[in-house]
A and B are shown apart, each in its own frame.
Chain A
């Protein structure tokens, strides 16, 4: 009995260490599906730019885009630094950026069959979301999903560089994640954002991480043009910031734990 109690309390404490992450992850994973119910219901009654079927389709695509762009490199990187494994990565003639990127892509491949199963299940539950995609928006949507993944990865990897200077890089990521939840279109498609907020959101990198690819995949009308430039701008800025923090970080690195 005592053993069980101690085990439970220790592991509970351990889990609570990660409570913020656990909560956000669970929420973010299930969110599109919950919101889908909420928004399709709302759309049935009120006056919205999208029909219930379009909402259902949009959130399905949000779900898919999120599956394809989930990134956790900041946690990996922090563990590497704390446990001294970064030293081994630094000894190899390959920037750890690429090794982690490869791991993310590999995980995606492993996840793929499950996602397909989930989508089939989804179409069975929500017949109104079924649709035949046009080839061009579909291809564009896939391309932008890939770009969204790269941008998200770059963003989190840049945040991971803060591990060199502080033990709280993960908290920074959590703040970003909240912004991401609200501004990316995970909670509502940008069509329903009130005007000044919508324009503002479109200047941040977040809508390009979820909204843009999801809307393209769902076959909604989207303006690509200013978006591509904004995406490029953020991509370039993060790239520079990453390289800068990496250089400074290596000077600061003390190889602890190794």
Chain B
């Protein structure tokens, strides 16, 4: 459904200086710097898959999505989305995809969301009856029904995002590109948006590629993740695999019977937190049983619990290791 091969984008950024003289010089002989935003990214997503796209700020996620939706031409490489080359921008292609950007909105600010829906219905050539049916269906799924006739500027951030999703899905696209769709939303709204995306995927068999800086989104929606860092693809596979590969650790949570100095805990693992009687240690997976046994023998422990480390920490770790090992094979 989505195929990217050696996808690469270099932006040319004009260097600018402040003085008047420099402005003139700039006008005559431009100096450029090249930003390698995406570098040789290849992957393949099957129909109906939900894939999470992870990476720190500036990693190249949005740039990749822009190429896959045909907004920009790649510097190098190929892509096929729903049977089309995106940047040819054929009508049939545009009708099969959508892009939602959490930091941008397409809704007309001063008019009710309903008017944007009407406009989109006309542009996408959706018949009147079908249009009304779809709005009803989608707004039910989003529990948004009463808000459609208020000016968009009077909606809350969460309601606006839901209306934004509705506008973007009215033409029932087969491939959804979602760029931080939960940006800035509170927990309830995040969960609602997440549930909605899952439901849409289930009902219509849509393919979803989604970026988010909230790991909960990724964990709830994506069976598979792509990790990109400095424009290069670092990982492509199941979310659990990411944990195994980058964080072969378990977290051991302790409740102590009496306060201890940090040094007393050091022999058992990496001390992440030590606050009063509570402590969290990272222990290599293969030594887990051995270490836990030792802890129980040597330390005054009231309670002990073994957990997976939080996904955020794993990801942070991935990004930290990444600059040292640039290709998949090396990691």
Contacts and interface: CB of A to CB of B under 8 A. Distances in A.
A91 B106 CA distance: 10
Interface string A132-155: 000000000000000000000000
B204 interface: no
B72 A258 contact: no
A5 interface: no
A88 B106 contact: yes
Contacts of A92: 94, 120, 123-124
B95 A90 contact: no
Contacts of B124: 92-93
Interface in B57-104: 62, 66, 69-73, 87, 89, 91, 94-95, 97-99, 101, 104
Given A87-B104, A88-B106, A93 B73 contact: no
Instruction: Name the interface size band of chain B.
Output: 20 to 34
A84 B66 CA distance: 12
Interface string B98-128: 1101001010000000000000100110000
Nearest to B171: A93
A256 to B, nearest CB: 9
Contacts, number: 45
A254 interface: yes
Contacts of A225: none
B43 interface: no
A247 B232 CA distance: 29
A3 interface: no
A255 interface: yes
A254 B72 contact: yes
Interface in A73-111: 84-85, 87-88, 90-94
A79 B186 CA distance: 31
B90 to A, nearest CB: 9
Contacts of B11: 254
Give the one of B71, B87, B124 with max A CB within 10 A: B71
Nearest to B167: A88
A258 B62 CA distance: 9
Nearest to A92: B123
Given A87-B71, A258-B104, A93 B99 contact: no
A91 B71 CA distance: 7
A124 interface: no
Contact of B69 (A84, A85, A91, A251): A91
A93 B71 contact: no
A255 B97 CA distance: 17
A85 B73 CA distance: 18
Contact of A94 (B71, B72, B87, B123): B123
Contacts of A255: 66, 71-72
A251 B72 CA distance: 7
Contact of B104 (A84, A250, A251, A254): A84
Nearest to A84: B104
A91 B94 contact: yes
A92 B116 CA distance: 12
9 contacts: A85-B106, A87-B66, A90-B89, A92-B120, A93-B91, A253-B72, A254-B72, A255-B66, A255-B72
Given A250-B73, A255-B72, 17 more contacts: A90-B89, A91-B69, A91-B71, A91-B97, A91-B98, A92-B120, A92-B124, A93-B91, A250-B87, A250-B89, A251-B73, A253-B71, A254-B72, A258-B62, A258-B66, A258-B71, A258-B104
The 4 residue pairs across chains A and B that have the minimum distance between CB atoms: A88-B106, A93-B94, A93-B91, A94-B123
